Amino acid sequence: MERPKIPQRMQGVVLPGGDRTEIREYAVPRPGWGQVLVQMKASGLCGSDLKFIYHDHVGTGGSQYQGVIAGHEPSGQIVEVGSGVSSFTVGDRVVVYHINGCGHCAECEKGFMIGCTSPERQAYGWQRDGGHADYLLADARALLHLPDPLSYIDGAMVACGVATAYQGISRAQVSGRDRVLVVGLGPVGLAVVMLAAASGAEVYAVDVVSDRVALAETYGAAQGIVAGADALTRIMDLTQGQGTEVAMDCSGNPAGRYLCLEAASTWGRVVFLGEGSEVRFEPSPLLIRKQLTLYGSWVSGLDGMDRTLAFLVRSRLHPDSLVTHTFALTDVERAYQTFAAGRTGKVVLTFDEK
C-alpha cells in the first residue's frame, strides 16, 4: 500500500467529567520502537466510560482516568510503522487490545493484561490516549489483525464487549449440548446470546425491557422472557423441570444473579459477567447441593480476542448489528448524551474514509 499522507494535527476527545465532552487539538503522534500509528475507523462508547469517566471521575490509584483522549474500543488501519515491528505493516486493518501491561507478570504472560497490577499498566482511553481521535498511537504487542470479512465496527465491538462475551461462554465451555440462560440483555448480554446460539446451544434470554427480549430472539435466542415473578417457572417449564446447564448473568443485578443460581440445573455452570452491586444467596440449596460451578469472568485476554475474531468469521456473525447509533467525532457531545440516556444499543464513533 502506498504510504498515506498523514496530517500534522488531529482532533481528540477528552471527558472532563460532569457529563461533558471536550474536543481538543493535538499533534499527530509518531510511532516509536515497537509502535504503530493507527488511523481510526471506529471507536466504541462503553458503559464503563459513563460509569467511571463521563459522569464523574470515579476510581483511585492505577485505575484513575488521566485526562487522556478517551475511547478503549478502537479499530482502524495502520498508516505508519515504527522500528522493531515485524508482524504489522502499513495498510493492515487492526483491533486494539485495550490495555498494555508490564509485559512480564503472570497475567501479562498469559495475555491477560487486564489483570496486570503493575504501575506500568496503561489502558487506552484511561491512562494513555485512546480511540476517540483521528489517529491512535498503539503498541504492536497489543494489536490484533482484523479479518477481512469483519467491518471496523465489528472490530470495535470485539475490542471490549464481544470478547468479554466470548470469554464468558468459553469459561462455561458452552456447546450444542447445553441449554443456556442469559440474564441481562445489554450489548454484552446480546453478544452472549449471539455467540452461544452460534455454538449450537439452546438459549433463553431474560431482561426487564421487552424490546431487548425481542432483539435477543432475532440474535438466536430460542425463547425470550420478560423478567418478572414467573421467570423461573417459565425456565423450568421450558427445561422439563431440570433448569439450564449454563446460566450467565450479564445484568450485574442481585435479582439477575439470583435467578441464574436458581435456574441452573444440578451440576450446572454459572458465570457472572455483569459488574457491580451484590448478591445474597443461601449456599446450601443453591450452590452446594446443586453441585454448581460458579465462574467470575472479567473481559478477555489477547488470545481470547483473537479467537473471538476467528469465531465470528467462521460463524458469519457481525456484531456491528448490535450498534444502533453512529456519530462523527465532531458530534461526540450528542453521541455521549444519546448513549447516557440509556435507550440505545451500542453507540460508536465512526470516521470518514480518508
Q: How far is CA 267 from CA 41, 180, 182, 271, 289, in A?
A: 45, 13, 17, 13, 9
Beta strands in 209-297 (DSSP E): 223-226, 244-249, 264-272, 293-296
Among 6, 23, 90, 105, binds Zn ion (CB under 5 A): 105
Task: Quote the CA–CA distance of 134 and 7 in Å, as a whole number.
Answer: 10
Closer to Zn ion by Cβ: residue 13 or 263: 13
Closer to Zn ion by Cβ: residue 99 or 259: 99
Looking at the DSSP bridge assignments, the partners of residue 43 are 74, 349
Burial (0-12, 13-18, 19+ Cβ within 10 Å), 157: buried
Closer to Zn ion by Cβ: residue 171 or 346: 346
Closer to Zn ion by Cβ: residue 116 or 261: 116
**Which uninterrupted H or E stretch holds 311?**
helix 302-314
Binding mask 144-163 for Zn ion (x = CB under 5 A): ----------------x---
Q: Which of residues 109-128 bind Zn ion (CB under 5 A)?
A: 116, 118
Closer to Zn ion by Cβ: residue 108 or 150: 108
Closer to Zn ion by Cβ: residue 47 or 224: 47
Q: Which of residues 289-348 bind Zn ion (CB under 5 A)?
A: none
Binding mask 194-233 for Zn ion (x = CB under 5 A): ----------------------------------------
What DSSP character marks residue 131? S
Q: Which of residues 18-57 bind Zn ion (CB under 5 A)?
A: 46
Closer to Zn ion by Cβ: residue 130 or 268: 130
Of the candidate spans 88-96, 104-112, 251-259, 317-325, the one that interacts with Zn ion by CB under 5 A turns out to be 104-112
Q: State the cell numbers at 198.
A: 452460534
Minimum CB–partner distance for residue 341 and Zn ion (Å): 18
* Of the candidates 216, 224, 211, 225, the residue with the CA atom closest to the CA atom of residue 195: 216
Closer to Zn ion by Cβ: residue 113 or 292: 113
Contact status, residue 71 vs residue 44, Cβ threshold 8 Å? yes
Minimum CB–partner distance for residue 117 and Zn ion (Å): 7
Of the candidate spans 107-115, 169-177, 307-315, 342-350, the one that interacts with Zn ion by CB under 5 A turns out to be 107-115
Q: Show contacts of 281-284: CB within 8 Å, 24+ apart.
A: 281/257
Count interface residues toward Zn ion (CB under 5 A). 8
Minimum CB–partner distance for residue 48 and Zn ion (Å): 5
Instruction: Answer yes or no whether residue 102 interacts with Zn ion by CB under 5 A.
Output: yes
Would you put residue 178 in left (φ > 0), alpha (ψ -120 to 50) or beta? Answer: beta
Task: Quote the CA–CA distance of 222 and 225 in Å, as a whole number.
Answer: 10
Task: Quote the CA–CA distance of 188 and 87 in Å, as a whole number.
Answer: 30
Residues near Zn ion (CB under 5 A): 46, 101-102, 105, 108, 116, 118, 160
